[in-house]
Amino acid sequence: MSNKQAFRLEAKGVTKSYGAVHALEDVNFELKPGEVMALLGENGAGKSTIVKVISGLIVPDQGSITIDGEPVSLTSVRASQNAGIAVVQQEFSTVGPMTVAENLVLGQSGAPAWWNSKKLAESAKVILNRVGLEDIDPERLVETLSVAEMQLLEIARVLAKDAKIVIFDEPTAALSDAEIVRVLEAVKRLAKEGRSVIYVTHRLGEVFEIADRVTIFRNGRSQEPQDVKNLTVDKVVEMMIGRELGHLYPPRSQKIGETILETQGLRIPGLVGDVNLTLRRGEIVGLTGQLGSGTSEIMKAIAGTADVISGKVILEGEELDLHGRGRGIVMGIAYCSPDRKKDGIFGGISIRRNLSSPWLRRISRLGFVSGSQEQSEATRSAQNFAIDVKRLNTLVGNLSGGNQQKVAVGKWLGIRPRVLLVEEPTRGVDVGARAEIYAQIRRLCDAGVGVIVSSSDTNEILGLSDTISTYYRGQHSATKPAAEWTEPALVREVMHKGSK
């Protein structure tokens, strides 16, 4: 190799602070032509911040960037795009009230005119096929898509651009195995075409499938890039969190009790049919399936927030009103939604208030909140979830993606429900904090709570659950104790490619 190889992109001495928070400190980052560079690190390590610097969304306090050896000034999103950079951001940028086709095609060079909806739909179809979204009607409004579909749409949008550097900030956090395969294939294809890819993820297995090198961030600082072929998952974890992890999943339940919650013939027309599910005290039931499997609708139906259902939901022997919106908390059912932006947490208020919000009724008297009690409850939840207790006053909207998720889950675990329903409990959460969340869920179970977890992450479902049920296109397909599943069997069942 020549002594000085030209990097496709090189960032040097990049620094960015928000008040006392040093999001990036003297970060150096390099990217070769045609390579996939994984960018790893704990929640809040600075990954999205460097991505935002490179994509022109924020201007750093200090530092310089070159592309193909030439200094560039990425002071706006437009400047970054003109430099050949395309980004799938951690938070979506698709526009809700537009159609899928408009979102995908408009604004691209050579796009048909906006009024030519037939042409738009045709162009959109081509792009959708590339990410396996051929089932989606290009005329559909984006706001009607699921979180996973929106994520795939976002990826499709970026693939449609002719960029020389493509950045993915946790593209697969909301996706299940079948969709992840497509995303990883798309990434490999980009690299084969000579494009460079920066790939941020907390799903470490992906790194070994697609990345050539890894750069690890810790507390806003970058470490030297490493060749993936010299690494193992354990080594990566140790470099990320500074210690060995030990066990990711807590031991399974020793004392599963009587039935606490049951559904009989639950139906949501067009979405799920005939769900008969049993949850026992102290048990974690894991629900899993790919896109459109209906697990999310089942959770909502039990929580009382699904639109039309028939059948029965029985909690400790008592039949619940199916359409009891908001009945959840009152009845002791806590529901943690996968869409934290819509109904998980409130970005404009503090961590303290977010964590204590389900408690407010309990800790307020005549409309006044007891400040000291709020503080002590919030502190306790924060400690349980690896949330920085010194930052309780911080607005949740200013937290990193994974730290927002910890607040969303911590908030619901704090109220000690009878039944906890949680979708995608660790979406975007780093491996160390994930272990904390699993331990907390298990602790609730040991205290007699029943928990239903739905997750697109097969490994998480296998590791955390006592019992696993799979769903396919709204229909139950199999239920077995977790110990009787193997990973390949579960993946096959989820994809509905069982031994037929």
Ligand X SMILES: Nc1ncnc2c1ncn2[C@@H]1O[C@H](COP(=O)(O)OP(=O)(O)OP(=O)(O)O)[C@@H](O)[C@H]1O
- List contacts with Mg ion (CB under 5 A): 47-48, 90, 400-401
**Minimum distance between the CB of residue 246 and Mg ion, rounded to whole angstroms?**
25
Which lies closer to ligand X via its Cβ, residue 49 or residue 288?
49
- d(CA 178, CA 205) in angstroms, rounded, equals 15
Which lies closer to ligand X via its Cβ, residue 46 or residue 425?
46
- d(CA 211, CA 285) in angstroms, rounded, equals 34
Nearest residue to ligand X, by Cβ distance, number only: 402
- d(CA 39, CA 168) in angstroms, rounded, equals 10
Q: Which partner, ligand X, Mg ion, none, binds residue 338 by CB below 5 to 8 Å per kind?
A: none
**Minimum distance between the CB of residue 46 and ligand X, rounded to whole angstroms?**
4
Percent helix, strand and coil across the chain, each rounded to 5? 35, 25, 40
Binding site for ligand X (CB under 6 A): 18, 21, 23, 41, 43-49, 90, 398-403, 428, 430
Q: Which partner, ligand X, Mg ion, none, binds residue 294 by CB below 5 to 8 Å per kind?
A: none
Q: Which partner, Mg ion, ligand X, none, binds residue 333 by CB below 5 to 8 Å per kind?
A: none
Which lies closer to ligand X via its Cβ, residue 254 or residue 393?
393
**Minimum distance between the CB of residue 411 and ligand X, rounded to whole angstroms?**
17
Q: Which partner, ligand X, Mg ion, none, binds residue 398 by CB below 5 to 8 Å per kind?
A: ligand X
> What DSSP element (H or E) covers 209?
helix 204-210
Q: 38 has which bridge partners? A: 199, 214
3-state SS class at 475: strand
Q: Which partner, Mg ion, ligand X, none, binds residue 423 by CB below 5 to 8 Å per kind?
A: none
Tokens 């959840």, residue?
328
Which lies closer to ligand X via its Cβ, residue 201 or residue 253?
201
- d(CA 128, CA 397) in angstroms, rounded, equals 31
Which lies closer to ligand X via its Cβ, residue 46 or residue 304?
46
Which lies closer to Mg ion via its Cβ, residue 47 or residue 300?
47
Q: Which partner, Mg ion, ligand X, none, binds residue 282 by CB below 5 to 8 Å per kind?
A: none
Which lies closer to ligand X via its Cβ, residue 49 or residue 293?
49
**Minimum distance between the CB of residue 57 and Mg ion, rounded to whole angstroms?**
12
Burial 315-353 (b: 16+ CB within 10 A, else e): beeeebebeeeebbeebbbbbbbbebeeebbbeeebbbb
**Minimum distance between the CB of residue 170 and Mg ion, rounded to whole angstroms?**
6
Angle at alpha carbon of residue 195, lines to 129 and 201, rounded to 5°: 75
Question: DSSP secondary structure string, 133-160?
Answer: -TTS-TTSBGGGS-HHHHHHHHHHHHHT
Tokens 């919000």, residue?
357
Contact 165, 9 (CB under 8 A): yes
Cβ burial, residue 374 (10 Å; 0-12/13-18/19+): buried
Nearest residue to Mg ion, by Cβ distance, number only: 48
Q: 336 has which bridge partners? A: 422
**Minimum distance between the CB of residue 418 and ligand X, rounded to whole angstroms?**
31
Which lies closer to ligand X via its Cβ, residue 49 or residue 381?
49
**Minimum distance between the CB of residue 38 and ligand X, rounded to whole angstroms?**
13
Q: Which partner, ligand X, Mg ion, none, binds residue 44 by CB below 5 to 8 Å per kind?
A: ligand X
> What DSSP element (H or E) covers 181?
helix 177-192
**Minimum distance between the CB of residue 21 and ligand X, rounded to whole angstroms?**
5
Q: Which partner, Mg ion, ligand X, none, binds residue 35 by CB below 5 to 8 Å per kind?
A: none
